[in-house]
Chain A
Amino acid sequence: MSDASYVLDDRERMSFSLDREVFVSPEVLERERRAVFDKCWIYVGHGSEVAEPGDFRTRDIADRPILFCRDRAGEVRAFLNSCRHRGALTCTKREGNARLFQCMYHGWVYDTEGKLRTVPGEDAYGPHFDKEKLGLVAVPRLAHYRDFFFLSFDPAVEDLETYLAGAKDYLDLVTEQSPSGRMQVISGTQEYEIAANWKLLVENSVDDYHLPTAHLTWLNYMKNSGVDMKPRETGLLLPTKGAGKDLGNGHLATDNPNYRGRPVAGWMPIYGEDAKPDMAALREELVARLGQARATRVADTNRNLVVFPNLVVNDGSSVTIRTFFPTDAGHMKVTAWALGPVEESAAQRARRLDSFLTFYGPGGFATPDDVAALELVQRGLGAWREVRWSDSSRGMNRPDDEQLNTDEGHLRVFWRRWSGLMGAGR
């Protein structure tokens, strides 16, 4: 432990302090861009978003314009979306299906494998002008686990599965909701900004300590809808006792027995009486396919997963994929999607989407209060020079493998990995 660290991690004194400069400093952000976002595996998209050959999506990933597509032969690819001629965005559409991508500026044409196919007026170039070498540049690394595609700008990054470590099991639990193991990003994107440092959303996504205060109105809504919200054991803040998990490599999760509804075989009154037989059938399918124990694991636990650094998969009231990037030290852009099994019936899909909105999103019953909390924190952090340290020591009086979801053990997992990548001192 050194005084020059951003993180003061003192296990003996059971104290964990965080220098608030990490949330406000443009220099820290600049270093994060190089030491974190340019070094890690970063989520780019789901295979189902480019289901057919020629399907594409454009999005900004870690400040780069990315063209995420499936080529005519069926392979998923990710290119830097920048024309090799003089730099224009090659593909300007948000999504679609294409055989070729033509740059609007001077008309260079690329195919879905990135090859440069046509250059208008090619006879004006010398003999060393080689179209073979002027294709769209692929991202240095692209890999997927269960259709979650990640890219890395570091060619030497370890392979994805090693990187994901214990997070794989949590992606499995999500994917196993589909009888065929095929999940699908559902149409409709929630894209919004939060006036707060990106790391505050990492913390918030897995911080169950804030539920009783920040989400009191959501708890009331659940109660009014017939869900039993009372803690069943003394000393707990929530109806059930959950865990905060260290999944290795900076990945972490909360892992809680379900006390509210889940679209996967966890009925709640909001779904309506009519939904009961259908949900029983979903349960039966799960048990038949996975066995009783695994079916219970899939259906009866709520899990909020953080894949370091910036992918959140919440498997609770619905399944959400959420990713976010800093635009400056005090702002981030968030993108959120809903995920569901491909074979879902229309009624099941509608229920999943309805359930999503009970909690999540800019118009949900909980997310707006998270955003409010994060923005209030960011404003409070304006006092960082005088009020320098934040405390994240909750639960340090218990062993690492007994951390509750309402403790901060899993938050410390993130910070230890983060400070490891950022280097010991300033």
Chain B
Amino acid sequence: MSAPQLTGARVSRADVEDFLYYEAELLDSWQLDAWLGLLTEDACYYVPPNDKPDADHRDTLFLVADNIARLRERVKRIKDPNCHAEQPRSRTRRMISNVRITSTSGDTIGVAANFVVYRFRRGEAARDYVGSYRYMLKRQGDSLKIAERRVLLAAEELGALGLISFIL
């Protein structure tokens, strides 16, 4: 499996879908270093708190608010056998749908999509993370890169979902 290539001059929804499915495959198969390769050099990753999904991480306590440096450390951490929250690793399967291009300006493409991430671990009940993604993608040559990745959880509280110890 390799990263999808852009062919046309305009990025289409199909291009974006191919890209998101590829990303999902990398995350579900724990190819996290390859996943980091999908990010721009200044990428960020946000999971706002369930009670303030539209807030800004600079004035609101988020669940995750990583710049690229911390994101790389996060990947290092969750791959480490001493990351007990991911030992054994979560098995995940992501369903991504309702993909839309919400804005285009120059090389930057705003994308919205819905997701269900099913997460399984030995001895634990299955957990269903449901929500929507908000991406800012950047076209670099004939490939797309992730500049910002925002995960909005639909649940009112994290509740029985418990943790976000893997990349959601």
Query: Which A residues have a C-beta under 8 Å from some C-beta of B?
Result: 94, 186-195, 214, 216-218, 220-221, 224-225, 333, 337-338, 346, 349-350, 353-354, 356-358, 361-363, 365, 368-369, 371-373, 376, 379
Contacts and interface: CB of A to CB of B under 8 A. Distances in A.
Interface stretch (B8-16, B30-38, B48-56, B103-111): B48-56
Contacts of A217: 76-77, 80, 82-83
A28 B50 CA distance: 33
Contacts, number: 126
Contact of B55 (A187, A225, A333): A187
Contacts of A372: 84-85, 87, 165
A217 B76 CA distance: 9
Nearest to B45: A363
B84 A373 contact: yes
Contacts of B70: 358
Contacts of A356: 61
A373 B84 CA distance: 8
Contacts of B61: 186-190, 337-338, 353, 356, 361
Contact of B162 (A188, A362, A376): A362
A265 B43 CA distance: 29
Nearest to A352: B61
Interface in B43-88: 47-52, 55, 57-66, 70, 73-74, 76-77, 80, 82-87
Interface residues of B, number: 40
B62 A357 contact: yes
Contacts of B163: 192, 362-363, 368, 371
Nearest to B72: A224
B59 A346 contact: yes
Contacts of A94: 51
Contacts of A357: 62, 64-66
11 contacts: A188-B48, A188-B55, A193-B159, A220-B76, A220-B80, A221-B73, A224-B73, A353-B62, A357-B65, A362-B162, A369-B83
Interface of B: 47-52, 55, 57-66, 70, 73-74, 76-77, 80, 82-87, 123-124, 157-165
B49 A189 contact: yes
Given A187-B60, A346-B59, A357-B62, A194 B162 contact: yes
Contacts of B157: 189, 191-192
B58 A350 contact: yes
